[in-house]
Amino acid sequence: MIEENDGDVHLRLSLDTAYANLTNSANDQYQYGDLVVEIICVGPISQADAVSACQGYANSIPVPDVGEHVTVSGPYVLDTEHYNWAEIHPVYTLTITGASIGATVNIEENLDIVYANGGTNDWLGPTPRMLVIAATIDSGNQYTETLSLYSTSVSTEQITSIGLYTPGFSIVSISPSIPISFDPGATVSITLTIQAPDAYYHGPLDIQVSAT
């Protein structure tokens, strides 16, 4: 994000794969391969010949934080004064559609425990129930979370499987490995590495645990 003397804010937008054809060789050479996105009349103006251009105009476009996932609309043009690089200028709409990669977000998880006796409240507690997990999603669209489950049983019990039932998600690894044994009255921390369909998912995640 660059604040210009004419009051505009320039963003270097790293494009999702589907839009990679919107940049050209000048973007590669002068803008690190990014598309230039220009929000006009945002800040104070110190460039004299730009003062009149912003008179009577109140900017309503949000300026995103670096790293946020956004959707932008506006005229797609070549900047003939700057090597003909491609840009969106001016921005008509900008919507922040997701958290930045590396940010920690809260994901609501629906935990469904399948007990052998068909009950809804047994040695791992009631089912179904909701958990709120703080997850940090990396650039490979994976995140790691830890389930802490407590056994109320007076005998040794086991988890025989853990699965995800939200489309697009999958479990990469489970530690400790299945089956997972619980001693009487024990608390066991289970670490899941989960593959997400993208880094910006917001919504419920359905996890099913099968318990003997």
Q: Answer with the one of 71, 97, 123 that is the final residue of a domain.
A: 97
Q: Answer with the one of 67, 97, 127 that is the final residue of a domain.
A: 97
Q: Do 7 and 51 share a domain, yes or no? A: yes
Q: Do 108 and 204 share a domain, yes or no? A: yes
pLDDT at 165: 93
Strand pairing category for 93-98 and 69-73: antiparallel
Q: Do 121 and 186 share a domain, yes or no? A: yes
List residues bridging with 121 in a β-sheet: 126
Alpha helices (H) in 12-160, listed in sequence order: 25-30
Q: Do 59 and 135 share a domain, yes or no? A: no
pLDDT at 158: 97
Q: Answer with the one of 45, 71, 97 that is the final residue of a domain.
A: 97
List residues bridging with 146 in a β-sheet: 191
Measured between its terminal Cα atoms, the distance across the chain in Å is 54
Contacts of 118 (CB under 8 A, 6+ apart): none
The domain total for the chain is 2
Check: pTM over 0.75? Answer yes or no: no
Residue 188 sits at φ, ψ, to 5 deg, of -120, 130
Q: Do 108 and 189 share a domain, yes or no? A: yes
Tell me: cis bond preceding 126? Omega within 30 of 0 counts.
no
Q: Do 30 and 55 share a domain, yes or no? A: yes
Q: Do 112 and 92 share a domain, yes or no? A: no
Sign of the alpha-carbon dihedral angle for 124, 128, 133, 135: positive
Q: Which parts of 43-175 are beta strand (E)?
A: 69-73, 76-79, 85-88, 93-98, 104-115, 121-122, 125-126, 129-136, 142-150, 157-164, 170-175
Domain with 125 in it: what CATH number? 2.60.370
Q: Do 86 and 110 share a domain, yes or no? A: no
Which residues in the chain show pLDDT less than 50? none
Q: Do 25 and 59 share a domain, yes or no? A: yes
Q: Do 71 and 128 share a domain, yes or no? A: no
pLDDT at 202: 62
Q: Do 204 and 110 share a domain, yes or no? A: yes
- C-alpha–C-alpha distance, residues 26 and 35, integer Å: 10
- C-alpha–C-alpha distance, residues 195 and 173, integer Å: 10
Tell me which residue range forms the domain holding 17.
Answer: 2-97
Q: Do 6 and 69 share a domain, yes or no? A: yes
Q: Tokens at residue 204, please?
A: 């419920």
How far are the Cα atoms of 52, 85, 102, 134, 206 from residue 108, in angstroms, in the given order? 49, 42, 18, 9, 9
pLDDT at 104: 73
pLDDT at 96: 84
